[in-house]
C-alpha cells in the first residue's frame, strides 16, 4: 500500500429526508447499492459529513470516490407522484422511508407511500465465490415490491432511471466525454437501455472510472412498460405528468454534462392490492479486463464472463432471468455469514462482517478463460495499484473463509510475473503495476519497497491457501521462489533495517517488532512447506532458524518490566506499543511457533490502552486500522476479542465519515485519522474483518 492523500469529494446532501427510519443492524457510513467490481461501485453516502443519514431519497448516489452516479425512483399512486430514490430537481414529495436493513449481499429499504402503499426496495449485489460463472458478471439487481398498505386497491405506476449525467455519471469519469446509447429488447423479452462512452479507451480510467465498456439498464418488456431516453427534465416530467413515457429515443449524442441524458422506464402496475414485484438490473460489460505481463509478455486478458456467454445480451438475459436462483444463493450466503459471525463474535461481529463483504469483493475482477483463470484486485483509494501484496494480505481472510481456491487465482499473477524473470529483486514485489487495470509489473524493480512485509505475506498466504485446499502441488511448483524469499527473511527479519511496513502512512522505523515477527513466521511457514514437499533438510534448517529467531525476538521485542508487559513498537523502545497483528499468521497456519504466553500477555495488555473506538495502531498516532484490529481480536482472549469487536461495531454506527467504510480512523473520535495520514475509503482490506472466521479448526470453518 502506498500512502497518498485522497480527497473524497462528497456529493452535497440536498436535504435530510423527513420521517424516522429504523436502521438494522446499524446505519453505516455508506450503504452499498451496486457494488460488484472496481468500476461498479455505487453507494448511498450516509454519515453526517456529507451524507443524509441513510435515506435513499433526497441525495444522489455516489461512486466510491464521490462522483455522482444518479439513480432515480418515483412512484405514482392514484395520480399523485412520490420520490423514493435520488434527488432530481423539481422532484415530487418524498415517500416516507420507514426502515433500512443490510445483509452481506443486500441493502433493503422500506417505504410507506402516504399510508396508501408499502414499498420494499432491495439492492442485491450477488456474491458467489464458489460459482465463477455468476461471480464473473459485473451486474446488480434492484427489486421493487409494492403492495397496498390500507387494504384498498390503488392505481400504481413505477418510474426509474439511470443517468449519463454530469460526471458521465455511470458511464465514464470524464464529464466532457460524449456518451452514446441505444434501446432494445432481447429475444426473450428483456428491455434494455445500453449506455456507453462513444470513444472507447481500452484499459483507461478517468477519476477512477472506466473509460471502456457498456452499461445495460434493464427490466422486463411488456405492454405495461414504457421507456424514454432524453434530458432529465423531459423524461421525468413525462412520467410526473401522466405516469407513462412516450417510448422515444433521444439520438442527440452529446457530452454527459450537456442537458444530461437519462434512461427511464415506467411500469404500469395497474390497480393493485397484493404485492407486485418489478425487477431491474444494471450491468457493466467489458470484453477485455486486464493487461497482464505474464510468462509470455504483456497480453490483454478477457473478462471471464466472455467464456460463459457468447455476447453481452446473453449475459443481460441470463442475469435478469436468474433472479430467483440469485436470491436463494444470496440468502444462503447471508445466513452462513450470519450464523458463523454470531457464533464467533456475537451480533456486533455480524454488523462488521456483513457490511464488509460486498466492499471486499467489489475490488475484484475475474479474467482469463475456461483453461486459465485469474483474479485481480484493485487497491482502491490509497492508490490505484493492482495486486498489491500487502493489500491482498489483509483482504485474504474473506477468501479463506468463503472460497480458498480463489486465493490461487489471486496469487498466480504474482508468481507468474516473478518466476518468468520479469522482476529483478531477490525479495517479493509490492504490486503488479502502479495503475489498475495494467498488471504490467515492475521490470525496473522500482516498486514501493516493502521487502520484509511482502516476503512474509507471500509465504504465509501461499501456505494458508495450500492447507485449506490440500494443494501440495502448488507448494512444489513455487518452491524455488519461495525459498529465495525465505533466504531474504533469514538475512533480514530478525534485525529489520529502517523501512516501512504496510502501515507506510505511520512512518518508517528500524527494528519494528511486529514486522520482524511476520518475517520469522514466514521462515517457519517455509519449514512446513519444505516438509510437505519432501525437502526435509531445508525443513530442519528453517525450523531451527525460526525457533532461534523467535527466542531472540522475545528478548528484543518485549518490554518485560513494563506494567503490564507488552511487545514494543521497536526493539528497546520500552514505552512504545502497537497492535501485534502479525501474530495472526502463527495461528492461521497452526504453526505453534510463538509461545502462548505472548498471546496471553498481549490480550491482557490491549485492554489497558483501549480508546473509545479501538486500540491505537501504535504509539505514534491516535488512529487505528480496522483490519488489523480484527486480526488482533481473532487471536485474543474472549473478553479482549469482544472489546475489539464492540468498539468497531460502535465505530460503524457512529462514525461521521460518509464514504464507504474506511479502515483507518481516529480511535478517539471515529472520524478521519487526521495527523497527516490521509483518508482511505472502500478498500478491500475489510476482507480482513473475517479474520475470526478464517482460523483453522474453528467450528465454523469448512
Ligand X SMILES: *[C@@H]1O[C@H](CO)[C@@H](O)[C@H](O)[C@H]1NC(C)=O
Which residues in the 238-257 window bind ligand X by CB under 6 A? 242, 244, 246
CA 530/CA 479 separation, integer angstroms: 8
> Is 65 a binder of ligand X (CB under 6 A)?
no
Minimum CB separation of residue 420 from ligand X in Å reads 13
Asked whether position 368 contacts ligand X by CB under 6 A, the answer is: yes
- Tell whether residue 534 is a contact of ligand X (CB under 6 A): no
Residue linked to cell 421525468: 236
Query: Residue 618 gets which letter from DSSP?
Result: B
Pick one of 9, 10, 14, 145: the residue that binds ligand X (CB under 6 A): 145
674 binds ligand X (CB under 6 A): no
- Of 410, 493, 394, 502, nearest to 448 (Cα)? 502
Q: Would you count residue 369 as binding ligand X (CB under 6 A)?
A: yes
Q: Looking at beta carbons only, is 291 or 610 nearer to ligand X?
A: 291
**CB 212 → ligand X: shortest distance, Å?**
10
Q: Are 31 and 67 in contact (CB under 8 A)?
A: no
Residue selected from 112, 120, 425, 469 as contacting ligand X according to rule CB under 6 A: 120
Note whether 204 binds ligand X by CB under 6 A: yes
Structural element, H or E, at residue 163? strand 154-163
Residues paired with 34 in a beta bridge: 42
Q: Based on CB atoms, which residue is closest to ligand X, 401 or 542? A: 542
Q: Which residues is 368 bridged to in the sheet? A: 373
Cα–Cα dist 632/649, whole Å: 15
Please report whether residue 259 would count as binding ligand X according to CB under 6 A: no
∠ CA 683-689-439, nearest 5°, is 35
Least Å distance, CB 539 to ligand X, is 5
Q: How many residues bind ligand X (CB under 6 A)?
A: 47
Decide: residue 200, CB within 10 A, 0-12 exposed, 13-18 middle, 19+ buried: middle
**Of the candidates 163, 172, 176, the residue with the CA atom closest to the CA atom of residue 208:** 172
Cell of 382: 490509497
The answer to whether 622 contacts ligand X (rule: CB under 6 A) is: yes
User: Rule CB under 6 A: is residue 438 a binding residue for ligand X?
Assistant: yes
533 contributes a contact to ligand X by CB under 6 A: no
Piece of the chain touching ligand X by CB under 6 A; list 153-161, 335-343, 558-566, 692-700: 558-566
One residue of 528, 594, 598, 649 binding ligand X per CB under 6 A: 528
Q: Which stretch binds ligand X (CB under 6 A): 29-37, 203-211, 315-323, 643-651?
A: 203-211
420 binds ligand X (CB under 6 A): no
Identify each DSSP E strand in 241-314 by its residue range.
261-272, 276-285, 288-294, 297-302
Distance CA 59, CA 33 (A): 13
Contacts of 236 (CB under 8 A, 6+ apart): 72, 74, 88, 91, 159, 161, 262, 264
- Least CB distance to ligand X at residue 445 (A): 20
Which residue, 269 or 695, has its beta carbon nearer to ligand X? 269
Q: Which candidate, 27, 26, 44, places its Cα nearest to that of 35?
A: 44
Q: Which stretch binds ligand X (CB under 6 A): 135-143, 314-322, 569-577, 657-665?
A: 569-577
The least distance separating ligand X from the CB of residue 387, rounded to whole angstroms, comes to: 14
In whole angstroms, how close is the CB of 312 to ligand X at the nearest point? 19
User: What's the min distance (Å) between Cβ of 241 and ligand X?
Assistant: 7
**Residue 68 engages ligand X in binding (rule: CB under 6 A):** yes
Contact code string over 642-671 relative to ligand X, x by CB under 6 A:
--------------------------x---
Minimum distance of ligand X from residue 665's CB (angstroms): 14
Containing 338, the helix (H) or strand (E) segment is: helix 323-361
Stretch that binds ligand X, among 16-24, 334-342, 615-623, 681-689 (CB under 6 A): 615-623
Question: 117: part of which helix (H) or strand (E)?
Answer: strand 117-124
Chain residues 303-342 in contact with ligand X, contact rule CB under 6 A = none
As measured in angstroms, the least distance from the Cβ of 158 to ligand X is 13
**β pairing state of 93-94 and 80-85:** parallel
Is the Cβ of residue 148 or residue 317 nearer to ligand X in the bound state? 148
In angstroms, what is the minimal distance from the CB of 37 to ligand X?
15
3-state secondary structure of 206: strand
Q: How far is the CB of 693 from ligand X (least distance, A)?
A: 25
In the set 112, 166, 321, 472, which binds ligand X (CB under 6 A)? 166
Select the residue interacting with ligand X from 198, 425, 484, 574 (CB under 6 A). 574
Nearer to ligand X, 259 or 449 (CB): 259
Alpha helix ranges (H) inside 433-580: 451-469, 472-477, 479-492, 513-532, 536-556
Q: Please say which residue, 299 or 639, places its beta carbon nearer to ligand X.
A: 299
55: left (phi over 0), alpha (psi -120 to 50) or beta: beta
Site for ligand X in 508-527 (CB under 6 A): 510-511, 527
C-beta of 509 vs 685, nearer to ligand X: 509
Residue 487 or 678: which CB sits closer to ligand X? 487
Please write down the long-range contacts of 490-497, taking CB distance under 8 Å and 24 or more positions apart: 490/523, 490/542, 490/545, 492/451, 492/452, 492/519, 493/452, 493/456, 493/518, 493/519, 493/520, 493/522, 493/523, 493/549, 494/519, 494/520, 494/549, 494/552, 494/553, 494/556, 496/452
The per-residue b/e assignment along 157-186, b for 16 or more CB within 10 angstroms, e otherwise, is bbbbbbbbbbbbbbbbbbbebbbbbebebb
Given 571, 581, 644, 672, the residue binding ligand X (CB under 6 A): 571
- Stretch of residues binding ligand X (CB under 6 A), selected from 170-178, 375-383, 424-432, 535-543: 535-543
Q: Three-state DSSP class for 690?
A: helix
Query: Which of 147, 248, 610, 654: binder of ligand X (CB under 6 A)?
Result: 147
Tell me how far, at minimum, the Cβ of 690 lies from ligand X, in Å: 26
Q: How many CB atoms lie within 10 A of CB 532?
A: 16
| Half-sphere exposure of residue 596: CA atoms within 13 angstroms, side-chain side | 1
Verify binding: residue 289, ligand X, rule CB under 6 A: no
Residue found by looking up cell 436502521 in the block = 23
From the list 539, 635, 664, 670, which residue makes contact with ligand X (rule: CB under 6 A)?
Answer: 539
Backbone angles phi, psi at 608, to 5 degrees: -85, -10
Query: In sequence order, what are the beta bridge partners of 111?
Result: 97, 119
Binding region for ligand X (CB under 6 A) out of 34-42, 74-82, 218-226, 556-564: 556-564
One residue of 270, 507, 534, 572 binding ligand X per CB under 6 A: 572
Q: Pick the binder of ligand X from 4, 18, 275, 325 (CB under 6 A).
A: 275
The Cα–Cα gap between 676 and 230 comes to 45
Q: 39, 60, 102, 584: which one contacts ligand X (CB under 6 A)?
A: 60
Binding site for ligand X (CB under 6 A): 60, 68, 70, 110, 118, 120, 145, 147, 165-166, 203-205, 242, 244, 246, 275, 291, 368-369, 371-372, 435, 438, 487, 490, 495, 510-511, 527-528, 531, 539, 541, 543, 556, 559-561, 571-572, 574, 620-622, 668, 675
Amino acid at each position: 500500500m502506498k500512502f497518498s492523500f485522497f480527497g473524497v469529494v462528497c456529493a452535497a446532501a440536498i436535504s435530510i429526508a423527513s420521517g424516522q427510519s429504523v436502521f438494522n443492524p446499524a446505519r453505516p457510513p455508506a450503504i452499498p447499492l451496486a457494488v460488484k467490481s472496481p468500476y461498479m461501485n455505487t453507494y448511498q453516502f450516509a454519515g453526517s459529513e456529507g451524507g443524509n443519514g441513510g435515506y435513499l431519497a433526497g441525495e444522489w448516489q455516489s461512486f466510491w470516490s464521490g462522483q455522482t452516479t444518479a439513480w432515480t425512483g418515483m412512484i405514482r399512486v392514484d395520480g399523485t407522484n412520490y420520490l423514493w430514490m435520488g434527488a432530481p430537481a423539481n422532484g415530487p414529495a418524498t415517500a416516507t422511508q420507514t426502515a433500512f436493513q443490510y445483509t452481506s449481499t443486500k441493502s433493503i429499504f422500506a417505504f410507506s407511500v402516504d399510508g396508501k402503499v408499502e414499498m420494499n426496495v432491495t439492492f442485491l449485489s450477488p456474491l458467489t465465490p464458489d460459482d465463477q460463472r455468476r461471480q464473473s458478471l459485473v451486474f446488480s439487481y434492484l427489486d421493487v415490491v409494492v403492495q397496498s398498505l390500507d387494504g384498498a386497491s390503488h392505481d400504481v405506476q413505477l418510474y426509474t432511471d439511470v443517468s449519463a449525467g454530469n460526471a458521465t455519471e455511470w458511464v465514464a469519469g470524464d464529464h466532457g466525454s460524449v456518451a452514446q446509447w441505444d434501446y432494445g429488447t432481447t429475444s426473450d423479452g428483456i428491455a434494455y437501455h445500453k449506455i456507453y462512452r462513444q470513444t472507447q479507451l481500452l484499459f483507461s480510467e478517468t477519476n477512477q472510472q472506466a473509460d471502456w465498456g457498456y452499461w445495460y439498464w434493464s427490466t422486463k418488456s411488456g405492454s405495461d412498460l414504457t421507456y424514454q431516453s432524453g434530458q432529465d427534465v423531459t423524461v421525468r416530467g413525462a412520467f410526473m405528468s401522466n405516469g407513462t413515457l412516450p417510448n422515444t429515443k433521444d439520438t442527440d449524442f452529446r457530452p454527459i454534462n450537456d442537458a444530461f441524458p437519462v434512461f427511464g422506464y415506467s411500469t404500469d402496475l395497474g390497480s393493485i392490492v397484493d404485492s407486485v414485484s418489478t425487477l431491474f438490473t444494471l450491468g457493466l460489460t467489458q470484453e477485455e479486463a486486464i493487461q497482464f505481463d505474464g510468462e509470455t509478455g504483456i497480453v490483454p486478458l478477457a473478462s471471464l464472463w466472455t467464456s460463459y456467454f457468447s455476447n453481452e445480451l446473453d449475459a443481460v438475459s441470463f442475469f435478469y432471468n436468474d433472479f430467483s436462483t440469485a436470491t436463494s444463493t444470496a440468502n444462503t450466503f447471508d445466513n452462513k455469514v450470519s450464523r458463523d459471525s454470531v457464533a464467533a463474535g456475537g451480533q456486533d461481529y455480524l454488523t462488521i462482517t456483513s457490511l464488509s463483504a460486498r466492499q471486499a469483493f467489489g475490488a475484484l475482477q475475474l479474467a482469463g478463460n475456461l483453461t486459465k483463470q485469474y483474479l485481480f484486485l484493485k487497491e482502491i483509494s490509497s492508490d490505484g495499484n493492482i495486486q498489491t501484496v500487502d493489500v491482498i494480505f489483509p483482504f485474504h481472510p474473506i477468501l479463506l473463509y468463503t472460497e480458498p481456491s480463489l486465493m490461487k487465482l489471486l496469487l498466480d499473477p504474482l508468481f507468474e510475473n516473478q518466476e518468468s524473470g520479469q522482476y529483478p529483486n531477490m525479495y517479493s514485489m509490492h504490486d503488479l503495476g502502479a495503475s489498475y487495470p495494467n498488471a504490467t509489473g515492475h521490470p525496473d524493480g522500482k516498486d514501493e519497497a516493502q521487502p520484509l512485509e511482502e516476503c512474509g505475506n507471500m509465504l504465509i498466504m501461499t501456505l494458508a491457501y495450500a492447507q485449506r485446499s490440500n494443494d501440495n502441488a502448488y507448494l512444489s511448483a513455487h518452491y524455488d521462489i519461495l525459498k529465495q524469499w525465505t533466504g531474504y527473511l533469514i538475512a533480514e527479519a530478525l534485525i529489520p533495517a529502517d523501512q516501512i511496513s504496510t502501515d507506510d502512512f505511520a512512518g518508517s522505523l528500524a527494528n519494528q517488532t511486529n514486522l520482524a515477527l511476520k518475517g520469522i513466521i514466514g521462515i517457519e511457514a517455509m519449514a512446513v512447506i519444505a516438509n510437505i514437499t519432501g525437502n526435509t533438510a531445508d525443513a530442519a534448517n528453517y525450523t531451527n532458524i525460526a525457533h532461534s529467531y523467535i527466542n531472540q525476538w522475545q528478548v528484543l521485542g518485549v518490554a518485560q518490566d513494563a506494567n503490564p508487559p507488552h511487545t514494543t513498537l521497536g526493539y528497546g523502545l520500552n514505552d512504545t506499543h502497537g497492535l501485534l497483528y502479525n501474530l495472526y499468521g502463527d495461528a492461521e497456519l497452526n504453526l505453534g511457533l510463538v509461545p502462548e504466553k505472548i498471546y496471553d500477555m498481549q490480550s491482557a495488555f490491549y485492554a489497558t490502552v483501549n480508546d473509545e473506538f479501538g486500540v491505537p495502531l501504535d504509539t505514534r498516532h491516535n488512529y487505528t486500522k480496522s483490519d488489523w484490529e480484527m486480526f488482533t481480536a481473532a487471536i485474543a482472549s474472549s473478553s479482549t476479542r469482544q472489546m475489539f469487536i464492540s468498539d468497531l461495531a460502535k465505530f460503524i454506527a457512529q462514525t461521521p465519515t460518509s464514504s464507504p467504510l474506511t479502515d483507518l480512523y481516529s480511535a478517539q473520535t471515529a472520524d478521519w485519522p487526521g495527523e497527516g495520514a490521509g483518508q482511505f475509503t472502500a478498500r478491500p482490506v475489510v476482507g480482513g474483518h473475517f479474520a475470526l472466521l478464517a482460523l483453522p479448526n474453528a467450528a465454523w470453518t469448512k
